[in-house]
Amino acid sequence: MSDATPQIIAIGGGGFYRDPDNLALERYILAQTGVAEPRVIFVPTASGEPDHYVASFYAAFLKLQCRPSVLSLFKRTPDLRSLLLKQDVIYVGGGNTKSMIALWQDWGVPELLREAWQSGTILTGVSAGAICWFEQGLTDSFSDGLRPLGCLGFLPGSCCPHYDGEPQRRPSYHRLLASGEIPAGVAIEDWAAIHYKGTETYQVIGAKPGVRAYSMRSVYGSVQEVPLPVEYLPQP
């Protein structure tokens, strides 16, 4: 995998946990590996690794042509380097992004994720698992409202997930962009994802009709929201 182009697929919301009958996004992700039975590991750190989330992952991915597994940082933790670097896909779940990154840093996970990404492992995830790859993300990790959060910085700029799915996302992102508190970036609706090759957008994909993603920036305090072209995936 060392000659492969680094890839990240950032999902705005939805996916196997929200609708186990619609696995279009998951099928797309696995197809990008070019491997007959790709190894895919689920990282549910942000939600505290609840059993129901892990069970939903296995229930979905065991229907697909892949070899699924789960990384736990709350039980006896395995050799992380050997585990992560042999995967074809690393799928990060949603939850509290700030707590997830703090725990990852203590275990040295960000460096391993970067090494895996640069070696050709596809990095992906939903919500927290989408924004974590950017320089900053709009997070609900705090109880008093949405805030910018410094993230891993594999991808430039900022990211806002759930752009159509949570009523405060759009106005909060616009306000923070206009004030300069968060840099230009992308907004991703539920059931949409942005596929990056290297640090450039390759394409936007949608797993339900009409979902979108947007390029976002502020020019002299006025927010520009530009829809990106979408490739809609076959419906189940």
Active site members:
127, 162
Could you tell me if residue 168 is left (phi over 0), alpha (psi between -120 and 50 degrees) or otherwise beta? alpha
- Report d(CA 171, CA 160) in Å as an integer: 11
Contact 84, 108 (CB under 8 A): no
Q: Which residues contact 193 (CB under 8 A, 6 or more apart)?
A: 9, 10, 11, 12, 25, 28, 124, 130, 204, 205, 206, 207, 213
Question: Starting at the edge strand that comes first in sequence, how are the strands of the sheet with 89-92 ordered?
Answer: 67-70, 39-43, 89-92, 122-126, 7-11, 192-197, 200-206, 230-232
Q: Rounded to an integer, what is the distance from CA 57 to the centroid of its chain?
A: 15
Contact 23, 66 (CB under 8 A): no
Burial letters for 68-89: b for 16+ Cβ neighbours within 10 Å, e otherwise? bebbebeeeeeebeebbeebbb
- Report d(CA 18, CA 161) in Å as an integer: 15
- Report d(CA 6, CA 78) in Å as an integer: 25
